Structure 1
Amino acid sequence: MTLTRPDRYPRLLKVTWARWQRQIVFLLGGVTVGASAVALALLADQVQAAFALLVGKWRYASLVVTPAGFVLAVFLTNRYFQNSQGSGIPQAIAARELDDQAARGRLVSIRIAIGKILLTLLGLLCGASAGREGPTVQVGASIMFAIGRLSPRRQPGLILAGAAAGVAAAFNTPLAGIVFAIEEMSRAFEVRTSGLVIASVIAAGLTSLALVGNYAYFGTSPTMLRTGADWLAVPVCGVVGGLAGGLFSRIVVVVARGLPGLLGAAIKQHRLPFAAACGFAVALCGIASGDTIYGTGYTHVKAALEGGVPLPWHFGLLKFAATTLSTISGIPGGIFSPSLAVGAGIGANLAHLFAGAPVDAIILLGMVAYFAGVVQAPITAFVIVTEMTENHAMVIPLMAAALIAWLASRLVCPEGIYHALAKGFLRQEPDTAAAH
């Protein structure tokens, strides 16, 4: 029977209110992600300062603390917070591709988010060369997944929105959060979820602004390439940074999939001793670097860009080694900030080839090239570096360097690190489901 007009209004009101309820819940999710990102950032600064104070009093303390911390982090990860290892971005990507709710819950959940925060802080507390931004992505995806139980049909979109909000709030880079969601998380533009992603990014960004104010992650850098000769640094940084980033990704992916022979079997069976060995090697890198490669690398890169403080010639090489060891050890921790720091070291070294060129401009090219080589997401790379430095004069050279680096990286590692690692989590799901 056809509804009469008086019957139609209550139904319309009910449907409209239900839609607004969902939108409000999603916005609250964005606010929660933003607050979590700020809390993780502030706590990360505190634990890194505590470790710096320790090695400042006894610089060889890392030879004990770092291996012990790695072992504890891997033990807690495997025992209580499975699937929280690494950056967390591959888990978020895999969760989007799964259809089963229980399988998704094994990759993104509130329990994993709590473990991710605690164990990322533990890694930084013991001197790991790791970042907090990738973990923020998994935390954001986990928060949105929990909220998404109220709207099951929108689960993949919510995970995407949570990941984008995590990047935006972690770096104070809203555009990079949106681009990251499109280019890396979904690799497509989805009209149905675009509004949800943007709303979540806005909510997370405003929360971050309210709590810590507006800021550029690496400070403001007005530098630019001045002469035609300076532009030669673009292809050089692109090729060198891209190849180095591809090498890092190749090592991480190969180790994650399992090395062949006895060595691979030994690593798989003895994860704690392997973590201890990685931690000890990171400590050696730290001592050799003069205690500059621990943590995210943020302080040294910002000093180089804003204050012109030169980076040691060995900074990029030792940071590369320490980040590689921290990543393959199995501890939770991201690679965003450490990758930018490695790229800064590469750029600082390459700047010696271009006499008269602004060093900070070459550093930016190194940062974007290495980062694009690692993640193989060139648009995200140049957008995030541009936003983090508020430097729009370098947009074109950064774009060119990122594109060249992406092409160079694929010669070494044919597939982006996050999607390659995500396949590992997707492959393990049938075994996990069978076990349950």
Structure 2
Amino acid sequence: MPLKALPRLLRIHSARFQRRAVFLIGGVVVGGGAAAMALLADAAQSEFRKTLQLSPYLPLVLTPLGFALSVYLTRRFFPNSQGSGIPQVIAAREFDDQADRQKLVSLKIAFGKILLTLLGLLCGGSVGREGPTVQVGASVMFEAGRLSPRRQRGWILAGASAGVAAAFNTPLAGIVFGIEEMSQSFELRTSGLILGTVIAAGVTSQALLGDYTYFGTTGAVLHGWRDWACVPMCGILGGLAGGLFSRLLIAMARGLPGQLGALIKANPIAFAAACGFLVGLCGVASNGVTYGTGYQEVTALLHQHGGPGQGFGVFKFIATALSAISGIPGGIFSPSLAVGAGLGANVAAFLPGATLEAVIVLGMVSYFTGVVQAPITAFVIVTEMTGNHAMIMPIMAAAFIAHWTSKLICPQGIYHALARNFLSLGAARGSH
């Protein structure tokens, strides 16, 4: 090798080393942020439950005011932080212009996302923290990726995947989510760095929160014909309900036709308050089990510690839909799993003798698949979250049945359909 070529090689290898180091450091930051968000979300829900001890009717005032404040702050200070944040991340990967990307993923948006998601939980919204963690992770890696702007899509994808892995403590699901939902392909140039970022985020989250299974471990398996009959039942019902939920959110995001749609568009804060009041009514009618992420209710159902009752799935569906269309920042991952658990409990009650825990797991994966239409991500997440590898085949079957059924109701995947709204805004700016 000529000596004059040595400096050039050193520069190339130095740049590669720096890029890989930044990916790993970014993963550590995302993992730490996810752990902090988990602890803060638990604290916010705990504070809200204290208000219920004062009066179960207090959310009829607190929740509308909280929703209205959240939408005002979102529109005034943190635009494009509404909803789960996953559509924004998908759209950011599609843009070529850095300015357009920065309007969807940035440290300012990450801060607002964390703050306003916690506000939603503090006032009783039926929202989750996992989707927001995806936008936060993508925002962190976007800022880090300024060192290599030509590979921004890979940086954003790595941050989003790391966010899922750290939020659920499911590293494999984070990788699958990045491939199936975020990129819809496997990007060979960045795959190794994405894996490194996911591992760094997962290790950091585990170091701070401990190595745990999200919903605890369940060893439930399918036994008789009643249990196996629940596979297509849960798949079909979960797919139909999840498709209906997605279609509703897509329609509301695009705007309803006529005077009603115009009225909602002209009064977003008042509409958010109205949604908050209805969420409060759902909470009152369900004895308070529909508020928050649904984590405690799912855990109680899975481990038979006094579940929330047969109406839980329906009320949680309504509360989650209202929270999602209101415009407040907050995710739908955990609430969707909670709705699915309630659906599974209903199916098990319809077939006396069916194994309750197993059917609840089938309901979770079915409804979650019906909503996100990412069956591989769904069954990997549910399997990792419950530690139940004995049921992987029926879980997979229920997920694919739900996926096909959901497509009949909602042909478009919810995140990519919502991402088109943000992409169209960028296209409109470019045309002027």
Length-normalised TM-score, structure 2: 0.98
Alignment equivalent of 2:257, drawn from 238, 260, 273: 260
List runs of 5+ in structure 1 lacking aligned partners: none
1:233 aligns with 2:230: yes
Q: Residue 14 of structure 1 corresponds to which residue in structure 2?
A: 11
Alignment equivalent of 1:394, drawn from 387, 391, 394: 391
Aligned-residue offset at 1:355: 2.1
DSSP-derived class of the 2:358 partner: helix
Q: Residue 245 of structure 1 corresponds to which residue in structure 2?
A: 242
Alignment equivalent of 2:172, drawn from 165, 171, 175: 175
Q: Distance in 2 between matches of 1:40 and 1:104?
A: 24
Q: Residue 193 of structure 1 corresponds to which residue in structure 2?
A: 190
Whether the aligned pair in 1 keeps the contact of 2:35 and 2:166 (CA below 8 Å) is yes
Aligned-residue offset at 1:278: 0.1
Alignment equivalent of 2:36, drawn from 35, 39, 44: 39
Q: Distance in 2 between matches of 1:130 and 1:391?
A: 25
Q: Residue 354 of structure 1 corresponds to which residue in structure 2?
A: 351
Length-normalised TM-score, structure 1: 0.97
Q: Distance in 2 between matches of 1:229 and 1:299?
A: 27
Whether the aligned pair in 1 keeps the contact of 2:289 and 2:308 (CA below 8 Å) is no
Q: Residue 216 of structure 1 corresponds to which residue in structure 2?
A: 213
**What does 1:257-336 correspond to in 2, within 5 Å?**
257-336=254-333
One-letter amino acid of the counterpart of residue 21, structure 1: Q
**What does 1:120-139 correspond to in 2, within 5 Å?**
120-139=117-136
Q: Residue 202 of structure 2 corresponds to which residue in structure 1?
A: 205
Whether the aligned pair in 1 keeps the contact of 2:117 and 2:329 (CA below 8 Å) is yes
Whether the aligned pair in 2 keeps the contact of 1:85 and 1:330 (CA below 8 Å) is yes
DSSP-derived class of the 1:221 partner: coil
Aligned-residue offset at 1:433: 5.3
1:374 aligns with 2:371: yes
Change (3 A) 1:362 1:379: same
Whether the aligned pair in 2 keeps the contact of 1:336 and 1:371 (CA below 8 Å) is yes
DSSP-derived class of the 2:147 partner: coil
DSSP-derived class of the 1:232 partner: helix
Cα distance per residue 1:160-187 (max 9 Å; x no partner): 0000000000000001000000110011
Cα distance per residue 1:388-415 (max 9 Å; x no partner): 0010011000000000000110111110
DSSP-derived class of the 2:58 partner: helix
Q: Residue 412 of structure 2 corresponds to which residue in structure 1?
A: 415
Whether the aligned pair in 2 keeps the contact of 1:141 and 1:158 (CA below 8 Å) is yes
Whether the aligned pair in 2 keeps the contact of 1:308 and 1:360 (CA below 8 Å) is no
Q: Distance in 2 between matches of 1:346 and 1:148?
A: 42
1:28 aligns with 2:28: no
Cα distance per residue 1:117-163 (max 9 Å; x no partner): 00000000000000000000000000000000000111001110000
Aligned-residue offset at 1:308: 4.3
Q: Distance in 2 between matches of 1:77 and 1:70?
A: 10
Whether the aligned pair in 1 keeps the contact of 2:80 and 2:104 (CA below 8 Å) is yes
Question: What is the aligned-residue RMSD (CA, Å)?
Answer: 1.1
One-letter amino acid of the counterpart of residue 430, structure 1: A
Whether the aligned pair in 2 keeps the contact of 1:103 and 1:433 (CA below 8 Å) is no
Alignment equivalent of 1:150, drawn from 138, 147, 158: 147
One-letter amino acid of the counterpart of residue 409, structure 1: S
The sequence identity of aligned pairs, in percent, is 64
Whether the aligned pair in 2 keeps the contact of 1:233 and 1:362 (CA below 8 Å) is yes
Whether the aligned pair in 2 keeps the contact of 1:71 and 1:276 (CA below 8 Å) is yes
One-letter amino acid of the counterpart of residue 78, structure 2: F
Q: Distance in 1 between matches of 2:147 and 2:351?
A: 57
Q: Distance in 2 between matches of 1:244 and 1:342?
A: 10
Aligned-residue offset at 1:356: 1.6
Whether the aligned pair in 2 keeps the contact of 1:311 and 1:348 (CA below 8 Å) is no
Q: Distance in 2 between matches of 1:428 and 1:310?
A: 44
One-letter amino acid of the counterpart of residue 366, structure 1: G
Aligned-residue offset at 1:15: 1.8
Q: Residue 362 of structure 2 corresponds to which residue in structure 1?
A: 365
Q: Distance in 2 between matches of 1:56 and 1:430?
A: 50
Whether the aligned pair in 2 keeps the contact of 1:183 and 1:377 (CA below 8 Å) is yes
1:105 aligns with 2:102: yes
Alignment equivalent of 2:79, drawn from 77, 82, 86: 82
Q: Distance in 2 between matches of 1:311 and 1:355?
A: 18
One-letter amino acid of the counterpart of residue 381, structure 1: A
Whether the aligned pair in 2 keeps the contact of 1:248 and 1:324 (CA below 8 Å) is yes
Q: Distance in 1 between matches of 2:305 and 2:289?
A: 16
